[in-house]
Structure 1
Amino acid sequence: MSSIDQYFKDWASKVILSSDDAPLIFVSGAQGIGKSTAMNAIANAFDNQIAILGIDDFYLTKAERQALAKDTSPLFETRGPPGTHDLVLLNKKIDELQSTDSASITKIPSFDKITDDRKSEKNDHIFNGKAKAIIVEGWLVGANAEPDSVTESPMNEIENTESALNWRKYQEDQLSGPYAKLWNRSPHFFHLNAPSFETVLNWRIEQEETTRGLHKGELPEEIRDWVRSFILYYERITRRMLDGKKMSGAQLFVDKNRTVIKFEER
């Protein structure tokens, strides 16, 4: 059976080749599922003229998140959930890339997860020329709002903290507002589906090992505990998306080994 990157490359190529202008493509997938490999595959197939925007590079600055944490909930000091992204900047970059020509130079921001802050402009990625497609990828891409879920019982220890209600409500407001407006900019969605939230946790631990240059199983227990706590910030919306509550699109289902088990093309 074909790999994740092959399925995505074949699907995205059809979207790109059938579009008159550079299409905007949204890709979702849990942390560690293999989005980066899939992005490399499509970029290589089109001579690196695919502009790939990782939503993780469009976090609010650390100072902006600290202000949000002060005004709304201390939980917003932790990046990742809806409300912690600079969607104004992301939309601006999409607009710029949609109007590129062969002489264009487009600067794309990057985020440093070690310092937990946006890198200076001198570290921006540079996209040269006319984009054949623009891809926005990230774990929550296409997630639907569920305002009524705010009244549901806490799902984990993070949601059980004192300020979590404001945190959850603000996320739903953001998903139903600026995130929904972003998703509505294009009908092209490709969702990579993990088998379970527990699998996502294991993948996230593997990802941390790779980031730190460690072999599988070498991650210190205190770092494992940090990962287990960190991923709880993502649990509700990750589970929501695994339940199918997201924008309609192509769906690829994989097992815990990232082996493709089913593909549904809308």
Structure 2
Amino acid sequence: MSPEEPIAALVADRLARRAAGDPPLVLGLCGAQGSGKSTIAAQLAARFDSSAVLSLDDLYLTRAERAALARDVHPLFATRGVPGTHDVALGIATIEALGRRETIALPRFDKAVDDRAPVDRWPEAPRDCALLIFEGWCVGAVAQDEAALAAPINALEAGEDAEGIWRRYVNAALATEYPALFAKIDLLALLMPPDWPTVLQWRIEQEEALRRARGAAAGVMNAAQLARFVSHYERLTRHIWAEMPARADLCLPLTAERALRD
């Protein structure tokens, strides 16, 4: 069975209980890289009328803002993705505007140029939006305990964040800035891959698809670059797997083929 089905069933049930004029139902869809979040979000948006999709990736700080973060806080912030690299206020303002039934454009980030897309390229959300699908690799995550940050979790942290400055800043951002954004979520669904090596394999498959589509000279990463890249997200991903299942509305274990595990 596709993981879309149980999510759709829960969404349909909650939408049926909402009255006319209620703010949109906000579905938080959390899953590691390559787990199929974007595909599921698009399928759900096609399935339910008056739906909109907002990705956490579309809330990245501008390239200049992230460059300043890498310069002033830690060089690892040159890589976008972790808490601290998003415009949380923009996400909150967008969701609140949808709740007020305002005409609102949904933020979009252009990964090809590593910067926020011009506002005139942002798609307009339905004014009567009934469902907002908010997807991202750490949507709904909570911060770790300070003690958990002491030891590095992988070679990236050991070699490039030996003093823990980067991971502590990430954790502090998650503890202080992101709760207000994630509090907007009404339903939280978690996609659970079998293990960490599967996440890397899925990311390799994604990069191969990019290579086929764009060619080798389009900034596509090789295996070593990919392994380092996903290491930026390993700590929080593993923490999510340990902590989120107990409180998510749906926890969906996946096979290596992204189907629901029996």
Contact persistence 1:74–1:163 (CA under 8 A): no
8 A Cα contact 1:59 1:79, kept in partner: yes
Q: Retained in 2: the 8 A contact 1:50–1:134? A: yes
Please state how far the C-alpha of 1:221 moved relative to its aligned partner. Answer: 10
Structure 2 counterpart of 1:135, which letter?
A: I
Deviation, 1:97, is: 0.9
The count of residues paired between Structure 1 and Structure 2 equals: 254
Residue 52 (structure 2) aligns with = 51
In the alignment, is the contact (CA less than 8 A) between 2:103 and 2:126 conserved in 1?
yes
Counterparts of 1:198 and 1:154, CA distance in 2: 18
Aligned 8 A contact 2:32 2:199 in 1: yes
The 8 Å contact of residues 45 and 133 in structure 2, kept in 1 or not, is answered as no
C-alpha deviations, 1:235-260, integer Å up to 9, x for none?
A: 10111112234653211111111121
Match of 1:25 among 9, 24, 27: 27
Q: Does 1:96 align with 2:97?
A: yes
The whole-number CA distance in structure 2 between the counterparts of 1:228 and 1:158 is: 10
Structure 1 partner of 2:80 = 79
Closer/same/farther in 2, CA of residues 235 and 194 from structure 1, 3 Å limit: same
More strand by share: 1
Residue in structure 2 matched with residue 114 of structure 1 by the alignment: 112
Q: CA deviation at 1:150?
A: 5.3
| Counterpart residue type for residue 40 of structure 1 | A
SS of the equivalent of 1:213 reads helix
CA distance in 1, matches of 2:221, 2:137: 25
Instruction: Report the counterpart of residue 147 of structure 1 in structure 2.
Output: 145
What are structure 1's unaligned runs of at least 5 residues? 215-219
Once the two structures are overlaid, the 10-residue window that deviates more, 246-255 or 168-177, is: 246-255
- Residue 137 of structure 1 deviates from its aligned partner by 0.7
The one-letter code matched in structure 1 to 2:258 is: R
Cα distance, 1:138–1:222 mapped onto 2, change above 3 Å: closer
Unaligned runs of 5+ in 2: 214-218
Preserved contact between residue 52 and residue 126 of structure 2 (Cα < 8 Å): no
Within 1, Cα distance between the matches of 2:48 and 2:220?
A: 42
**Residue 217 of structure 1: aligned partner:** none
SS at match of 2:158: coil
Please give the TM-score of this superposition, normalised by the length of structure 1: 0.88
CA contact (8 A) 1:8 1:38 kept: no
- Cα shift readout 1:22-67 (whole Å, capped 9, x = no counterpart): 22221101111111221122212223x1121100011000100111
SS at match of 1:97: helix
Letter paired with 2:234: E
Matched position secondary structure for 1:161 = helix
The alpha carbon displacement at 1:157 in A equals 2.1
Q: Are 1:13 and 1:42, in contact at CA under 8 Å, matched by a contact in 2? A: no
User: Percent sequence identity over matched residues?
Assistant: 35
Please give the root-mean-square deviation of Cα atoms over the aligned residues, in Å. 2.3
Q: Find the aligned partners of 1:73 and 1:13 in 2 and give their Cα distance.
A: 44
Q: Verify the 8 A CA contact 2:211 2:220 in the aligned structure 1.
A: no
Tell me if structure 2 keeps the 8 A contact 1:28–1:138: yes
Corresponding residue SS for 2:28: strand
Over 3 Å counting, the alpha-carbon distance change for 1:201 and 1:110 in structure 2 is: same
- What SS does the aligned partner of 1:108 have? coil
Partner of 2:216: none
Q: CA–CA distance in 2 between the matches of 1:4 and 1:69?
A: 37
Moved over 4 A (4+): none
| 3-state SS of 1:52 partner | strand
Q: Hey, what's the Cα distance between the residues in 1 that align with 2:159 and 2:27?
A: 36
> How far is the alpha carbon of 1:81 from its aligned partner?
0.6
